[in-house]
Amino acid sequence: MVGYPNKKSSYETKGISAARRGMTLEHDINDTNKYYLDTDRAAIYKKPTPITIVNVDYKSRETAKITEAYFQVPSTTDYNGVYRGKYIDFEAKETHSRTSMPLSMIHPHQLTHLAKVVKYGGIAFLIVRFAVYDETYYVPAEMFLNKLKELKARSVKYEWFKENCVLIPYNFVTKVNYLNVVDTIIDGGDF
Amino acid sequence: MVGYPNKKSSYETKGISAARRGMTLEHDINDTNKYYLDTDRAAIYKKPTPITIVNVDYKSRETAKITEAYFQVPSTTDYNGVYRGKYIDFEAKETHSRTSMPLSMIHPHQLTHLAKVVKYGGIAFLIVRFAVYDETYYVPAEMFLNKLKELKARSVKYEWFKENCVLIPYNFVTKVNYLNVVDTIIDGGDF
């Protein structure tokens, strides 16, 4: 029986992890943002998916039905909002790779946008999840953009995130508690 | 011939005004935001229209076609972004009334959102155009929300805007140059 509590605890952790496997990063961030809003901490939202509407059916007065529309290439990131007087802007990416994050996941427009946000004094970052390891990283936009300048490959290695970025802790209510990392940045803490 | 230059100038102003009548406020703000972006001043965007996608046709590989979708009630305002390190957030409304702006134009969710932005230290406002007078006002969110508290009617009178709010000047490149008003606010100028 020696070690049983440890084994049990390890089992439970695995259980939680397995339960989370079905959850996407987007879902976790939306839950976290809702919690931030409900607890009066910040107003940060996911932007709606940009689409081009071609045809709308106005048959009923209440419910206009869009019958033809197409997805647009996004010109900005997915999430933005306000926290402690600061403009917050980020993109979230989840990869199932064990070795690296493919750059094809991010549109060049989004990188240009993040660079602009940094320039205008906003707080810009990426949230990158390696689903296989169940690890979610806070990646400052400036650090990521500098990394891309020296990069030869079309992907950024997992080790780079592990060595340079902050692991965002998980808990049940704030599944991706990224504002705690933002706090250290606003308060002038070393990253 | 006395007064001819004045008459001419007056005629020209009318000409510009007539030419602009077909333009919507949204169009003017989008042009202005593009100009701010191109001249490297600020990154402020209109959010995509929030919709619920029910059905997508993936026939072709490149072009997924949305065949059923519905408009959602917006939970935030239409525009946000970053300028001089500040979070900027606003809603734009154009009325054709000569006497007042109906409150039915603004969704309660949007007022709640503006109040949150003020609380978290962002710069929140409305841009209200009285199309008949060709006048566009910068309306600080806090001032507007306070006005609503004491309001008995379901609309805010034109005179209130005229007496309390800043008229946003028009010119050809920056059609609604609202950031000049924001500048006076950031620099601590009296509104």
Among A47, A67, A82, beta carbon nearest to B122? A82
Q: List the CATH number of the domain containing A49.
A: 3.40.1350.10
In a domain? residue A169 = yes
Contact (Cβ atoms closer than 8 angstroms) between residue B84 and residue B44: no
The answer to whether residue B142 sits within a structural domain is: yes
Residues of the domain holding A65: 20-186
pLDDT digit string, tens, across residues B115-150: 999 999 999 999 999 999 999 999 999 999 999 999
For A43, A72, B112, B157, B186, the CA distances from B122, given in Å and listed in that order, are 10, 29, 14, 27, 11
Do the domain assignments include residue A104? yes
Q: Are B116 and B110 in contact (CB under 8 A)?
A: no
Rg over CA atoms, chain B: 19
Residue A144 has pLDDT above 80, yes or no: yes
Residue B4 lies in a domain: no
Cβ atoms of residues B126 and B111 within 8 Å:
no
Predicted model pTM: 0.85
| Residue-wise pLDDT tens digits, A172-188 | 889 999 999 999 999 98
Contact between B87 and A66 using a beta-carbon 8 Å cutoff: no
Instruction: Report ipTM for this prediction.
Output: 0.83
Of B49, B75, B121, the CB nearest to A85: B121
| Cα B123 to Cα B121: distance, rounded to the nearest angstrom | 7
Contacts of A70 in chain B (CB under 8 A): 63-66
Domain presence at residue A8 = no
In a domain, B53, yes or no: no
Q: Is residue B109 part of a domain?
A: yes
d(CA B143, CA B155): 15
- DSSP assignment letter at A168: P
Residue A157: count of CB within 10 angstroms of its CB: 15
Q: How many domains does chain B have?
A: 1
pLDDT in tens, A49-108: 899 999 999 876 668 999 999 999 888 999 999 999 999 999 999 999 999 999 999 999
Residues in chain A closer than 8 A to B65 (CB atoms): 68-70
Does residue B68 belong to any structural domain of this protein? no
How many C-beta neighbours within 10 Å does residue A28 have? 21
